[in-house]
Structure 1
Amino acid sequence: MKKIPRRSALRNALRLALGALAAGTLFGATAPAALAQNKVADIANYSGADREKRLVDGARKEGPLMIYTSAPIDDMTTLTRAFEKKYGLKVKLWRAGSEKVLQRTVTETRAGRHDVDIIETNGPELEALQREKMLQPVKSPYLKDLIPEAMFPHGGWVSTRLNIFVMAYNTNRLKKEDLPKSYADFLDPKWKGKLGIEAEDADWFAGVVGEMGEEKGLKLFRDIVARNGISVRKGHTLLTNLVASGEIPLAMTVYNYKAEQLKQKKAPLEWFYIAPAIARPNGVGMARQSPNPHAAALFFDFMLGDGQKLLLERDFVPTSTKVETPLNKLPIKFVDPKVILDENQKWTNLYDEIFTKQSK
């Protein structure tokens, strides 16, 4: 298999953001820009009983809501169509990988271009945008319904859904009784040539190794790859589809919702986990200089309210306590986006060394 280039797109995007900060382009706001930011904050923080009506009335005088997202387009379209139908508003989507969502947002802000209203993507990228003061805290009435892990003291973004890392296997190639009970079981020679992993899951790796103890965990995974090899693929959807096709018998890091979606479509695929399952918070943030702030705040509320039920219907794990799902009861360890951001280089380098460089 062709080796995947060893890089950290998140780290590169962060360098771009820090370069913009050093150049003074992010915070050297003119008086009109500062006034515009104050208006956005006033709209996002309004907490009167008529909040929804005010937001709807204001949104109808604005342009189409622009969302940058890394969610699968079919899932995001389901959400935006429901929003459009409920409020009679228009939504535009730009979809790319999470690192590109981060990079585009930073680049446009650096250039003084403010097109985006809502950023919907992975936790570490949202945390990076928060650190660069690009996100507007929103005092949504639905915040009180979220699990504690969905919220952060800064309030710049919130987690609307959890990507739970699970393992998936092809039921035509493997038997349930042969599945591993622990990561150490992957040392068995029977797994030679049968394992796959996603190319950029350093946050999952940090969580798993942290549970084991760093020295022990790093040695174990080095030994697994050295003995049995591993196929590294870019993209969780691609990896899950390769399991369904049988090309990769077992993948260590797929998202639970995508595995469940394919299972429901009768693909020969099942998923399982080795406790604790690692969960990455994904979420939503409102752009600090949103050109359509009423619509942006309204969509933010929608994602924490009606959108939670829609996420569950799409096999995601919502973060609202008002939505019941068996996945909330799994033994879960949450990835801390701040830790991953601060230790990104360390864990990316280790991931590349142990998995990507050894890919077969």
Structure 2
Amino acid sequence: MKRLDRRAFAAGLAAAGGAALLGSGRSAWANEGGALTLYNGQHAETTAAIVEAFTQQTGVQVAIRRGNSAQLANQIIEEGQASPADVFYSEESAPIAALAARGLLAPAQPDTIAQVHSQFAAKDGSWVGVSARCRVVAYNVDMIEPEALPGSVMDFANPEWRGRVGFVPTSGEFQAQALAIVKLKGREAALDWLKGLKANGRVYNGNVAAVQAVQRGEIPTALVNNYYWFRVADEVGADRMKCQLQYLGHKDPGALVTLSGAGILKSSKRQELAQRLLAFMVSVPGQQALVGAVAEYPVRPDVKSPYPLKPLDELDPPDVSPEDIADSDLARDLRREAGLA
């Protein structure tokens, strides 16, 4: 796979795709209320691509404060009405859903919500998905045949997988997967699964590290998000990847599709500009900038990723909504009970 010059890609798309929307309103937008403050829990490179395209199109400057999504959400809760944040961009859906549950988010404009499929936005319109990703099994083709892989992510907790599966318990998406198991199979099943992985699996400190471990033959399999494979392949070269991906499908919790989302703080003094940024994030030029920076799924069907992603309509994920996997307190409790805190 040829490595993409992602910044050039995003800038070029913004110049080409955004010119029609720019018009005479650029200077007016730029001078309306000063710079926006974005609390960003998403990957820095992804957010930079979107923000650079937005600023190039509108002239509006965006100050980015980076951190862990859950930590930033807690910070916003503590700051309350005094929060300087205008927009919150979360890598996972749980932290932004937590803000929505506390009534801290302003409704997104209907025209913004209408840009994406209903499954990619909060039911109450308080936030909107910006990209999607799915859970997968990474496996080393020299260490295991794909036919020997389990048909369900639940099976990886069994003793026969002792020392043969890696996982990242600190990953928000791993925690969302545990909550999906709660929704589909019950709390005890989710706790048993976590305890089984604790007893039999190997902990990694990040999804990239887990994919790299599979790639170099340190471990046969790992439970990760799909787009991290492309990060490693971008460096190694797709034709040299011993690590490949299994998509479980058949509504198994191992096929969970999750969202990165963004929402506007009710306390923001720049509501109109914040709405413009949110609308841009799901617009064609915004989504084009995003897919040039990361191998996640766009939330617009009319924007295509340059990466060879398995089509969304072929993933057959479980019937789990963002609200079903938003209970970060339950996720924390389950990890602690399983000894993974």
Q: 1:91 to 1:157 in 2, by over 3 A?
A: same
Is 1:70 the counterpart of 2:70? The answer is no
Query: Take 2:75 and 2:157, find their aligned partners in 1: how far apart are those partners?
Result: 41
Q: Deviations over 1:105-136 (max 9, x none)?
A: 122226x2x32111010211111111222211
Whether 1:124 and 2:125 are equivalent positions in the alignment is no
CA separation of 1:187/1:315 partners in 2, compared to 1, >3 Å: closer, same or farther?
closer
1:95 correspondence with 2:58: no
In 2, Cα distance between the equivalents of 1:297 and 1:327?
Answer: 27
1:75 CA drift (Å): 1.5
1:287 aligns with 2:265: yes
| 1:269 alignment partner in structure 2 | 243
Deviations 1:59-83 (A, max 9, x none): 4333222211111111211111111
| Amino acid across the alignment from 1:296 | A
The aligned amino acid for 2:300 is S
- Distance in 2, matches of 1:138 and 1:188, equals 44
Correspondence for 2:14: none
The C-alpha deviation readout for 1:8-44, integer Å capped at 9, x for no partner, is xxxxxxxxxxxxxxxxxxxxxxxxxxxxxxxxxxxxx
Question: How many Å separate the matches in 1 of 2:333 and 2:321?
Answer: 18
Q: In structure 2, which of residues 228, 239, 242 is the aligned counterpart of residue 258 of structure 1?
A: 228
Q: Does the CA contact (< 8 Å) of 2:180 and 2:324 recur in 1? A: no
Matching of residue 318 in structure 1 with residue 298 in structure 2: yes
The number of residue pairs the alignment matches comes to 302
Which residue of 2 is the match for residue 350 of structure 1?
A: 334
Asked if the contact 2:191–2:337 (Cα under 8 Å) also holds between the matched residues in 1, the reply is no
TM-aligned CA distance change 1:66 to 1:86, over 3 Å: same
* Superposition deviation, residue 331 in structure 1: 0.4
Quote the offset at 1:274 in angstroms: 1.8
Change (3 A) 1:142 1:178: same
**Which one-letter code corresponds to 2:333 in the other structure?**
N
SS in 1 for 2:32: coil
Counterpart residue number, 2:167? 197
Residue 318 of structure 1 aligns with an amino acid whose one-letter code is P
Counterparts of 1:56 and 1:169, CA distance in 2: 51
User: How many angstroms apart in 2 are the aligned matches of 1:255 and 1:152?
Assistant: 22
For residues 165-176 of structure 1, the aligned pairs below 5 Å read 165-176=135-146
Q: Contact (CA 8 Å) 1:308, 1:323: kept in 2 or not?
A: yes
Distance 1:151 1:278 in 2: 16
The answer as to whether partners of 2:107 and 2:126 remain within 8 angstroms in 1 is yes
Q: Check 1:175–1:106 CA distance in 2 against 1; reply closer, same or farther (3 A cut).
A: same
Counterpart residue number, 1:304: 282
What stretches of structure 1 move > 6 A for 4+ residues in a row?
50-56
Q: Distance in 2 between matches of 1:225 and 1:290?
A: 42
Query: Which of the two has higher C-alpha Rg?
Result: 1
After the TM superposition, which residues 82-231 of structure 1 pair with which residues of structure 2 at under 5 Å, given as runs?
82-109=53-80, 112=82, 114-121=83-90, 122-183=92-153, 186=156, 191-200=161-170, 201-208=174-181, 210-212=183-185, 219=192, 222=195, 226=199, 229-231=200-202
Give 5+ residue unaligned stretches, structure 2. 1-20
**Whole-Å separation in 1 of the counterparts to 2:120 and 2:265:** 19
- Structure 2 CA distance for partners of 1:333 and 1:59, relative to 1, 3 Å: farther
Superimposed CA distance per residue, residues 329-355 of structure 1 (whole angstroms, 9 cap, x where no aligned partner): 31012543433345x444433344346
Change (3 A) 1:53 1:248: farther
Distance 1:312 1:168, change over 3 A: same
State the alpha-carbon separation in 1 of the partners of residues 22 and 114 from structure 2.
16
In the superposition, the TM-score normalised over structure 2's length comes to 0.76
Amino acid at match of 1:203: A
Q: Does the CA contact (< 8 Å) of 1:58 and 1:294 recur in 2?
A: no
CA–CA distance in structure 1, aligned partners of residues 112 and 302 of structure 2: 10
Q: Distance in 1 between matches of 2:189 and 2:79?
A: 43
TM-score normalized with structure 1 length: 0.72
Cα distance between partner residues in 2 of 1:303 and 1:167: 29
Structure-2 change in CA distance of 1:104 and 1:53 (3 Å): farther
CA distance in structure 2 between the aligned counterparts of 1:239 and 1:56, rounded to whole angstroms: 46
Q: Is the 8 A contact 2:180 2:325 kept in 1?
A: no
Cα distance in 2, alignment partners of residues 299 and 135 from structure 1: 15
Ranges in structure 1 where 5+ consecutive residues have no aligned partner:
1-49
| Equivalent residue, structure 2, for 1:329 | 314
Q: Counterpart amino acid of 2:178?
A: F
Partner-residue secondary structure (3-state), 1:160 = strand
- Which of 307, 318, 325 aligns to 1:340? It is 325
- Report if the CA contact (8 A) 1:279-1:334 is conserved: no
Larger mean CA deviation between 171-180 and 325-334 belongs to 171-180
